[in-house]
Structure 1
Amino acid sequence: MTAKDQQHAGLSPSPWVCSGVEQWLKGRPAGAAGARALDLACGAGRHAVWLAQRGFVVHAVDRQQPVVPLAHPNIQFELMDLELDHWPLQGQQYDVVVVTNYLHRPHFPALLDNLAPQGGLLVYETFMDGNAEFGSPRRPEFLLAANELLELSKGLHVLKFEQGLRTQPSPAMIQRGLFISGAWSEIQSGTKTLFHEGTK
């Protein structure tokens, strides 16, 4: 691991992302070899680095450059405005798509089109209604409604879904899901809901 990788590794990746991707890898005899991943709105690049260290070829995109350059040989960083009228990733295809702490509803269908049609994994985790009680974001356009991620991801198989109050690493109202494209039998699907008193 390079010194720059260590700096990024200090920004711990989401356990939801790690467990979801590791579960997906168990169904691939070749592991991450030859697999392409997208880290959408990658921020500092914590997930891009984590994926690259596991052998994925990673396309990391964001509207701002990471403070510490993503210098890992498996990472291609691209400066990109993800909220233009046209979808800048049209025609791209990925085996794994990771999205955390980001929501732009108009391009959600186009993002799903970027997922490989058979066995592609979508890992999504972001904020939902009620988060204003704990901090940013507070604006409705950045907050999922109850069960909205399930509705947005219709057409994919639900591997796991959770929503409600997260206590670690800091309190927040979140919604997260693991979804797979095409036929999938290696993982038992399931749902779980974390309840916050204000949402019962």
Structure 2
Amino acid sequence: MMRPSAWVMRFAGLLPRRAHVLDVACGEGRHTAYFALRGARVTAVDIDLHAIEPLAGAPGITLECRDLEKEPWPYADEAFDAIVVTNYLHRPHFEHYMRSLRPGGVFIMETFTKANGLIWGRPRNPAHYLLERELLMLTPAEAHIVAYEEGMTTEDHAVARIVWTKPADAEPYGQPLGTR
């Protein structure tokens, strides 16, 4: 199993203890396992669960085999404390992400940009990569952006990354600011 994304781990502290996390397009479950080990309840969804089967039955983990691109969005409003999306892009889901987060909920995303396709040949399909600054444009207007980056990772992947929170009456998940 690959290590969890450094971006995801960096912002995992924004989640409350025992958070309910949705891991979209969970793949082999690197983030599912990471959050479960931190005490979260994780709903891991993917079109193919073969790679994540070793986590079946683990405490706090629910596996769901779904084709989220062809079926209606199955998750209720305000169902999750966090939604994590890595190496996956389906633009129509952005309208659902905000609704499915509880107030104060955290959205963490990291996925490929067009540059990755130009350099490494994947993803090939323009539907599966972000254009320059597109992730900012897909972010709901009411979201509070905690962090955003776009560029090359230490593994030489071209990605865009964002963390935003859903507004709440009290903003309990504020990211500590650096002192300089």
Give the TM-score normalised by the residue count of structure 2. Answer: 0.87
Matched, 1:41 2:25: yes
Deviations 1:90-140 (A, max 9, x none): 446100110000001122211221111x21000000001211212311221
* Matching residue's letter, 2:175: I
* Equivalent residue number for residue 129 of structure 1: 114
Query: Which of 144, 158, 164 is the equivalent residue of 1:173?
Result: 158
Matched, 1:160 2:151: no
* Matching residue's letter, 1:43: G
User: For 1:80 and 1:144, how far apart are their aligned partners in 2?
Assistant: 23
Cα displacement (A) at 1:153: 1.1
User: For 2:54 and 2:71, how far apart are their aligned partners in 1?
Assistant: 28
Structure 1 pair 173/134, CA: closer, same or farther in 2 (3 Å)? Answer: same
Is contact 1:97–1:115 with CA below 8 Å preserved after alignment? yes
CA RMSD, 1 decimal: 1.9
Is contact 2:145–2:163 with CA below 8 Å preserved after alignment? yes
* Matching residue's letter, 2:110: E
Instruction: List structure 1 segments (4+ residues) > 6 angstroms apart after TM superposition.
Output: none
* Matching residue's letter, 2:63: F
* Equivalent residue number for residue 101 of structure 1: 87
* Equivalent residue number for residue 14 of structure 1: 5
* Matching residue's letter, 2:162: G
Is contact 1:36–1:58 with CA below 8 Å preserved after alignment? yes
Is contact 1:165–1:174 with CA below 8 Å preserved after alignment? yes
Secondary structure in 2 matching 1:43: coil
Is contact 2:43–2:63 with CA below 8 Å preserved after alignment? yes
Structure 1 pair 61/181, CA: closer, same or farther in 2 (3 Å)? Answer: same
For structure 2, list consecutive stretches of 5 or more residues without a partner in the other structure: none
Greater relative contact order structure (CA < 8 Å, 6+ sep): 2
For structure 1, list consecutive stretches of 5 or more residues without a partner in the other structure: 1-9, 26-30, 191-200
Normalized per residue, the structure richer in strand is 2
Q: Mean Cα displacement is larger for which, 57-66 or 178-187?
A: 178-187
Matched, 1:62 2:49: no
Matched, 1:187 2:175: yes
User: For 1:107 and 1:119, how far apart are their aligned partners in 2?
Assistant: 19
Secondary structure in 1 matching 2:33: helix
Q: Mean Cα displacement is larger for which, 42-51 or 159-168?
A: 159-168
Secondary structure in 2 matching 1:138: coil
Is contact 2:24–2:85 with CA below 8 Å preserved after alignment? yes
Is contact 1:158–1:189 with CA below 8 Å preserved after alignment? no
Identity of aligned pairs, percent? 39
Q: Mean Cα displacement is larger for which, 150-159 or 65-74?
A: 65-74
